[in-house]
Structure 1
Amino acid sequence: MPDEQRPRRPATMKDVAAAADVGLGTVSRVFSNNGKVAASTRQRVEEVAARLNYRPSALGRGLKLSTASNIGLLVTDISNPFYGEFAEGLLGAANAIGHHVILCATGEDPATEREYVDLLLQERVGGIVAFPTSENRELWRSAQDLGTRVLFVDRTVPGIEAACLSVDHQAGARSATEHLLALGHRRIGYLGGPDRLTSGSMREAGYRRAHADVDVGVDERLVVRTRFTRETAYASAVRLLDAPDPPSALFVGNNVLGEAALTAVRDRGLSVPDDISLVMFDDVSWAKLVDPPVTVVAQPTRQLGAMAARTVLTARPEAQQLLLPPQLVVRRSTAAFYG
């Protein structure tokens, strides 16, 4: 399709701010009539908005719902049951206290995250609960400058002072690895997410700390970081299993990686735990239903969601870390190793 025939996306508040060479806060004040704006600046913003055919949303102008009634929720993958349980907890608590929730899924893509945050700012939500990509620092700062309360979950964004709600990732990973070491395993593979994510780096740190505590070295060939997609996770699990000296146990960083690892184990004709023990971060429903059921580091996922709903509009803007303890749940996917 020729470019001139392609449908153009609607202009956003961010587009207007860039074209008018002003901040998002200035554009917001122009269209909400909330706060002082110089007459010349107001005229420039309005002229740019007219040229771009920008349409401020009714919610953004406060015509439908009180802005304090709206919470934006940014998750990464709605097919991941962890995010479904988290959203369920948040929605229930939000409804109970009279808040509405706008759900967005970023797919771990910084560009998509930018689009959704911009959309939520146009809708003038009172707060945003986000599993951030660790990028878009300036956009998150702009959100805070607009007075939008930001609560990160599981992860932080370097340079942004915002409250963060999570479980103690390092403690959870440490307990999982200690369990495997106590069973006699010394070659424990780690399949985790990108280390640029706070949750991934902390879980890997817990894995390493458990080894250091008992003076067991980590074979770096058994440490694999991958994206949270089933295809890449499966390929990474196969790489570990096909190593010349494969691990006797696997600790995987979340349920998507765990599903891929379990599939790879079975596709290789191996069995859990006879050939390889498996521990996974996240206690999702399928972990109890497979045979054998999987040993997990359980997060209080619905509780996290409910806490997020109650916290996002009341948390202080300065950084604070709100930690909940995870729990190791031992099932039949792990066994003693005597090799």
Structure 2
Amino acid sequence: MTQAPLTLPRDRFLDLPQGEDRKVGIEIEFGGLTEDEVADILIEQLSGRCERTGPVGLQLVETALGTIKIYLDTAWRDRADTAVVGRLLEAARRIVPVEIVTEPLAFSDLPRLEVCRAALREAGAIGSRNGFLLGWGVHLNVETEGSEVSDILPVLTAFALCDDVIRAQNWIDPSRRIVPFIDPYPRRFIDALADRDQFSMEELIDLYLEHNPTRNRALDMLPVFAHIAPDQTHAGLSGDEKVNARPAYHYRLPDSRIDEADWTLALEWNRWILIERIAADADLLDLIREDWRDHRAHWTTLRTDWPDRVLARLEAANLLDDMKEIA
């Protein structure tokens, strides 16, 4: 039987279940506004001053949320001062987004960023579903609780097992589905995480790199692993894969729906909190791992069957009681 849709709060940011002082950096891609227009709106909301960092790049400093980068999100942006490239980028603005990137923010700062998101929407910012082949996203860079395998493995396992649940509940724009940027983990990788509950960090990184030697995953773990074991991580990547090491989960799945009235950053944050709550409940995570093994043992099951099974398990554990949307 199909489970009822998972509804999460849109009007408030739920607390992290562990490590309350952890920070999160946020990246938002959108169109409809120029970098200068975005800077003016954010300064109106946050104060601070603007510095130009390139032909299509700005940086806000001394704002209420620290330093914020604003730029046209293309590898060509540093060459936009040449006449030909500049004209091409101006012509491409319909599909090349402006991106804002915050420094790591305290949890208490997130509502203020949501106010900025609403101000950008009011000024004409547009999101993923405003046209064909936009494919813009929101990335959360959530600081890890620590660098031990006991900190990392439960979160990675919870996400691997529940990625399909979030995708089933959250209609992802087709333009993001057809490109590899947010590919799901291979099923054999999920099998390996479900089959074992003990790994050394070296074993976990080797397993991840064997199946995911790329940034193009909905949860990109390479920044975390490059922070913990840089030599091992970079040795497992192709030469053109660039990774900035940082102690943060790089959660890339959400669409940017900045122009939609019922969409908020809180909603996407709370989807991540669901993953962290599952990870923090060892008994529940073990049950879901067991469910996955059983699911995979039956030849007649499909990947599309899996989300309902997880939702039933979460309902039985009463995990969703205080996460449901308030009317």
Query: Which category describes the TM-score, using the shorter chain as reference length?
Result: under 0.3
Give TM-score scaled by structure 2 length: 0.25
Question: Which one scores higher on RCO, CA 8 angstroms, separation ≥ 6?
Answer: 2
Structure with max Cα Rg: 1
Give TM-score scaled by structure 1 length: 0.24
